[in-house]
Amino acid sequence: MSNEHKSETEAEHNERMRALQQEMRAKIKAANEKRDLLIVHTGDGKGKSTAAFGMLARMLGHGRRCAVIQFIKSGDKATERLLRGPLLSWHWFGDGFTWDTQNRASDIARCREGWSIACGYLRNPEVNFLLLDELNIAMAYNYLPVDEVIVAVRERVAGIHVVITGRGAPPVLIDAADLVTEMREIKHPFKSGVKAQIGIEL
């Protein structure tokens, strides 16, 4: 409870909750449009891909056909093993952190390869959910042109929710998106010398 509501009486609280209920019901009633969404998870905090994988699990639970393309990273094989099934296609187009690969030409080629697969899914009416993990990084490093990505996503066939993750989302992507969430780092164990943990980062 916020400080402004701590001193309210029971009757005041009940009245405020009734007003809030009416407001929310009116908003729900007014929001009758259903369509596919462009969703962006960005920011310097942890949890961007993890949140996207939660959406992926929910979509699979609803029996929807999904695809994941991981750029830059060498893949999240533990999550893929957990969610694998006939409704999910998973692709890796990264060789690990860019500071480890030390090969810009190879990184660009791998991103191009992954983007070609992504464009195929964007034109596939049988796909309901496409997760483009770390695509923001590929655009930030100029491995893929931002304008090319925006055009392809905007021109996708109807019915595909697209989720794009990675820090440094370009402003034009944020403007085009329906839902943008910024993960902000407040504290991280790595800065205290703690290694990445299985099930948390790996």
* Residue 24, domain extent: 1-32
What angle separates helix 104-122 from helix 146-154, to the nearest 10 degrees? Answer: 10
Give the closest residue to 68 by CA, choosing from 47, 92, 46. 92
Mapping DSSP to helix (H, G, I), strand (E, B) and coil, where does residue 30 land?
helix
- Would you say residue 119 lies in a domain? yes
Instruction: Name the pTM for this structure.
Output: 0.83
Q: Is pLDDT of 48 > 90?
A: yes
Does residue 42 share a domain with residue 23?
no
Does residue 28 share a domain with residue 93?
no
Does residue 43 share a domain with residue 83?
yes
**Which tokens in the block code for residue 192?**
């205290």
**Which tokens in the block code for residue 72?**
């830059």
CATH number of the domain at 64, please. Answer: 3.40.50.300
Quick one: average pLDDT of 3-24?
84
- 132's enclosing H/E stretch is strand 129-133
Q: Quote the pLDDT of residue 195.
A: 82
CA–CA distance, 87 with 131 (Å, rounded to integer)? 14
- Would you say residue 110 lies in a domain? yes
Is 98 exposed, middle or buried, given 0-12, 13-18 or 19+ CB atoms closer than 10 A?
middle
42 and 179 Cβ atoms separated by less than 8 Å: no
Quick one: average pLDDT of 59-88?
89
Quick one: average pLDDT of 120-125?
98
Q: Is pLDDT of 94 > 90?
A: no
